[in-house]
Amino acid sequence: MDPILWEWLSAGVRWLHVVTAIAWIGSSFYFIALDLSLQKAPDLPPGAHGEEWQVHGGGFYHIRKYLVAPAAMPEHLTWFKWESYSTWLSGAALLAVTYWAGAELFLIDPAKVELSKWAAILISAASLTVGWLVYDRLCKSGLSARPTLLMLILFAVLLTMGWAYDQVFTGRATMLHLGAFTATIMTANVFLIIMPNQRIVVADLKAGRAPDPKYGKIAKLRSTHNNYLTLPVVFLMLSNHYPLVFATRWNWVIAGLVFLMGVTIRHFFNTKHARKGWPWWTWGVTAALFAACVWLSAAGTQGAPEDETAALPAQAQRFADAAGFDEVAGIVMGRCSMCHAAEPGWDGIGTAPKGLHLETPDEIARAAHEIFVQAGLTDAMPPANVSFIEPAERQAIRDWYRAGAGARLAAN
């Protein structure tokens, strides 16, 4: 696809994904806080569990919760599900645009496993489904009666998954996939458990039967999990901006600590909203976990140095063979590698920005598309043109990229 259209597709899908996620997380945080703050009142109608007064937007709200359901089906009923579904759908699209289409750059790490593009995409997609199957099985086992043990096992599953992703994918894809793995569980909880149970209750109401309280309890367990998983998922989704988070040896352990921080932070707010005090100790634990992440991230980069003899993927090879490559390689090494290097020489840049190395011809051929967008099509790089790239050099990058892309089209 045309690189300009592709860039805008990516920007558009990302925008949509962030907006839908705000809507989902916003409504879910709102309802959790509301649930915890419900009070008993003498005039509550039969079946009502609690009420709350709130003030917002120029008026007062008087909200009542019926548990499991009111005596009769209300005339209007608003459902909350598309916030979750649209977040998952737009997230899946963004995963495809970024990590599947860009598999050679962002997903596959030949130093770990030499995967073909399709094999990597298959692992990426299949792993997300498997996560749900394992999790759902766990929740439906006898463990649901022991929620704390269930949470600990869930934590072990997440840690194992983080480690497993790191065995096959780049560090960046590892963190992102662990986030997607968790978020898939969260949306599937809504789609496959919470909503169907809610529909059974509604059908009972319409038929004039008393709904079984067990459906409410099942939904509550799943939504408690979603509550504790929200903050870590957001962290993992943002992690690709910070190489020190994803491109270091202990990235999957860092992810594990982030899941624990998700619990300590939510515990503070859950307790406060339930008006049961202010457990300030949770911030001490959170700070200690954060400090452990900082410390671990400095413990070194991953595994063996890149195998210089490994074959370039076919697509990158076409850019390495394209007219003008030697000149462009010289330009990029001269103008970019002071920052984009294993040991950057630029003051204030401690690690290669975005984990992107541009020190060897192979690295440059692999990053052809990125170089074209950041330094050929636009002048985003070098930042503020600190290394004084010339307009003619940008032209050389554009000519080379188009020659390579033309060869790619001809080959397909």
Q: Which amino acid is at 8?
A: W
Measured from the CB atom, is 251 or 374 closer to ligand HEC?
Answer: 374
Q: Which of 331, 328, 336 is nearest to 382 (CA)?
A: 336
Quick count: other Cβ atoms within 10 Å of Cβ 135? 24
With beta carbons less than 8 A apart as the criterion, state whether 295 and 310 touch: no
Measured from the CB atom, is 69 or 365 closer to ligand HEC?
Answer: 365
Q: How far apart are CA 277 and CA 261, in angstroms?
A: 19
Provide, rounded to whole angstroms, the least separation between the CB of residue 331 and ligand HEC.
7
Kindly state whether residue 382 participates in binding ligand HEC, applying the rule CB under 6 A: yes
Q: Which of 52, 78, 81 is nearest to 65 (CA)?
A: 52
Provide, rounded to whole angstroms, the least separation between the CB of residue 385 and ligand HEC.
9
Provide, rounded to whole angstroms, the least separation between the CB of residue 325 and ligand HEC.
14
Segment near ligand HEC (CB under 6 A); pick from 5-13, 113-121, 265-273, 353-361: 353-361
Q: How far apart are CA 325 and CA 403, in angstroms?
A: 10
With CB under 6 A as the contact rule, the residue among 173, 371, 401, 405 that binds ligand HEC is 371
Kindly state whether residue 399 participates in binding ligand HEC, applying the rule CB under 6 A: no
Kindly state whether residue 398 participates in binding ligand HEC, applying the rule CB under 6 A: no
Provide, rounded to whole angstroms, the least separation between the CB of residue 8 and ligand HEC.
15
Q: How far apart are CA 313 and CA 324, in angstroms?
A: 19
Q: How far apart are CA 125 and CA 367, in angstroms?
A: 24
Q: Which amino acid is at 259?
A: F
Kindly state whether residue 383 participates in binding ligand HEC, applying the rule CB under 6 A: yes
Provide, rounded to whole angstroms, the least separation between the CB of residue 161 and ligand HEC.
25
CA count, 13 A, side-chain hemisphere, 46: 2
58: left (phi over 0), alpha (psi -120 to 50) or beta: left
Q: How far apart are CA 85 and CA 102, in angstroms?
A: 25
Kindly state whether residue 324 participates in binding ligand HEC, applying the rule CB under 6 A: no
With CB under 6 A as the contact rule, the residue among 374, 401, 404, 405 that binds ligand HEC is 374
Q: Which amino acid is at 267?
A: H
Kindly state whether residue 356 participates in binding ligand HEC, applying the rule CB under 6 A: yes
Measured from the CB atom, is 318 or 394 closer to ligand HEC?
Answer: 394
Provide, rounded to whole angstroms, the least separation between the CB of residue 317 and ligand HEC.
19
Burial class of residue 227 in the structure, from the number of CB atoms within 10 Å of its CB (0-12 exposed, 13-18 middle, 19+ buried): buried
Under rule CB under 6 A, which residues in 222-281 are in contact with ligand HEC? 241
Binding mask 61-80 for ligand HEC (x = CB under 6 A): --------------------
Measured from the CB atom, is 317 or 387 closer to ligand HEC?
Answer: 387
Residues that bind ligand HEC (CB under 6 A): 241, 332, 335-336, 338-340, 346, 349, 353-354, 356, 370-371, 374-375, 381-383, 386-387, 389
